[in-house]
Amino acid sequence: MYNKKKLMKVYQEAKGDNSYYSFDKFIKDAKSYLKDIKDGKVIASMKVSRSGMARRFNTQHYNMLLNICYNQKFSWDEVKVSGCGMDMWWYLLFTTCERLTDTQKDSFNYNSRCSNQVIL
């Protein structure tokens, strides 16, 4: 399902202080995240910028994981996604799935499963 070497590369590319978030914790959160995606249990709150060109997503458990995979930084803060004309929540979740797994061999259909996650 996942390649430890690939995950090490994702973890090492992130900038910032990783002293409070070990690689083992990253692996544990990645496994939990992928399971929750499959089960439709990833829930977040969302804030929209005034311009409407950015969203900030806050999850109960996965901010650090999402920030590492999407923004390449170690941060517990809300995950900022910028852009327009797209479903930013789906894009954040699916991009994270791509970074964590080999989506070419996607037996769990993460593409559609990322579409079914809840935003409060």
Q: Which residues of the chain have pLDDT under 50?
A: none
**Under 8 Å between Cβ of 77 and 63:** yes
pLDDT value at residue 104 = 61
Whose structure tokens read 């996650």? 117
User: Which pLDDT score, from 0 to 100, does residue 83 have?
Assistant: 87
48 - beta bridge partners? 55
Q: 58: part of which helix (H) or strand (E)? A: strand 54-59
Write down the pLDDT at residue 72: 97
Say how many domains are in the chain.
1
Which helix (H) or strand (E) covers residue 89, if one does?
helix 88-100
Residue 8: give the domain boundaries. 4-119
pLDDT at 70: 96
Distance, in Å, from the CA atom of 12 to the CA atom of 107, rounded to the nearest integer, reads 27
Label each residue of 6-31 as H, E or C: HHHHHHHHCECCCCCCCHHHHHHHHH
